[in-house]
Structure 1
Amino acid sequence: MKKYFILYKPFLLFLSTFFLTYIVLTFLYQQFLNGFEENKIDSFTRMVSDNTEQVIQLFNQQSYIEESTTHPYTKLFFNSKYVARIVEGCNAISVIILFISFVVSFSGKLKTTLLFILGGSLIIYVLNVLRISVLSALIFYFPKYEPFLHEVLFPLYIYGVVFMLWLIWVRNFSRYASKDTK
């Protein structure tokens, strides 16, 4: 049994680091969410909503958000028509936690790791705001495709970005990065 632990040590170390980081960050985020009243929007979701409104208004002045008075979400209006809600799950924090967990489990030098986590999280955040903005416009113009857009196309987009960031990290910056100078 001991030889298997030695043989699979890198894989087991990756798994334990990944899950430990994921569990700790998820716990901390849940504690943060628990600090808000039952029907109040958390500050991350509020910030995503505000930034989405700013992006949409660059292209369409009749678009805006409105906070629900009875539920924890904002209503998104495009061309003055209610097209979507922005809920806590739309703020990409869970995606960022997944991204950070992977990077930490393949960590490299501390400074490089922290800078990549910061830069990657910022990229995910900005692309998520753009995702919500484009999704709301597409739902306005193509409402019958809303399930496909929301449940298939845009999750592929955001998780595809995360996957590409992971590839960049592993191939160029992690402790497993190739040291070849070909």
Structure 2
Amino acid sequence: MLKDFKPVLSILLRFIIIYLVLLFCYQFYLNSFKESGLDPFSRIIAEQVSWIQNALHYPTQLYNDVSKEQVWFYVKKVYVTRMVEGCNAISVMILFISFVFAFYKGLKTFIFAFIGLLLLYIMNILRIVGLNIVVSDFKQYERIAHDFLFPAIIYGTVVVLWLIWIKFFALKNENS
């Protein structure tokens, strides 16, 4: 009976192991920057968001709050939002990678994972830009944008990528 579930259990076990290893590595990375404020990856994202907003004529400056491990976005002479570690989408990317590699299919797994991570990275930057613009110009929509709209965009992108991976790569018959 357990033999029938072996493929499913194998995929599930791979997912859990990959997820836990990546999560542990990420936590180790975060712990190494505990004393210096926001971690470097999150800081790079904040700087790229600032650059895009300035290019879109939303004058933006960044202000470090080292003790609280955050960076504030100062847009149009108002503090609109703050960048914290959770805004960098690494946890979402770890979830994405774990799922894709659970259905490992050789070299195309690495190619798809790289393209997917790049797309998630870009979507996350645009998500933060969008949130800053909404909060700057339409403050009354801040909560719905932050709590529902923009998370739906990033998680929706992950789900679409997973569906593409499963339909066109992972479960595709190799003999066809």
TM-score band w.r.t. shorter chain: over 0.9
Give the aligned residue type for 1:135: L
2:119 matches 1:129: no
Native 8 Å contact 1:65 1:77 kept in 2: yes
CA 1:62–1:40: 2 relative to 1, 3 Å:
same
Q: Deviations over 1:114-159 (max 9, x none)?
A: 1111111111011100100011000111212211110111111100
Which of 98, 113, 132 does residue 95 from structure 2 map onto?
Answer: 98
Runs of 4+ in 1 over 2 A off after TM superposition: 178-181
Aligned-pair identity in percent equals 37
1:64, CA displacement in angstroms?
Answer: 2.1
1:82, CA displacement in angstroms?
Answer: 0.6
Give the distance between the partners of 1:179 and 1:156, measured in 2 at CA.
33
The answer for the alignment partner of 1:12 in structure 2 is 9
Give the distance between the partners of 1:180 and 1:155, measured in 2 at CA.
39
The answer for the alignment partner of 1:28 in structure 2 is 25
Q: CA RMSD in A?
A: 1.5
1:106, CA displacement in angstroms?
Answer: 1.0
The TM-score, its normalising length taken from structure 1, stands at 0.91
Give the aligned residue type for 2:31: N
Give the aligned residue type for 1:169: W
1:69, CA displacement in angstroms?
Answer: 4.0
Question: Does the residue aligned with 1:60 lie in a helix, a strand or coil?
Answer: coil
The answer for the alignment partner of 1:88 in structure 2 is 85
Native 8 Å contact 1:60 1:79 kept in 2: no
1:39, CA displacement in angstroms?
Answer: 5.2
2:67 matches 1:75: no
2:137 matches 1:118: no
The answer for the alignment partner of 1:173 in structure 2 is 169
1:55, CA displacement in angstroms?
Answer: 1.0
Question: Does the residue aligned with 1:126 lie in a helix, a strand or coil?
Answer: helix
The TM-score, its normalising length taken from structure 2, stands at 0.94
CA 1:180–1:168: 2 relative to 1, 3 Å:
farther
1:179, CA displacement in angstroms?
Answer: 5.5
2:154 matches 1:158: yes
Q: Deviations over 1:7-32 (max 9, x none)?
A: 11121111111111100000000001
Native 8 Å contact 1:53 1:63 kept in 2: yes
Q: Deviations over 1:9-66 (max 9, x none)?
A: 1211111111111000000000011111335111111111111111111112522222
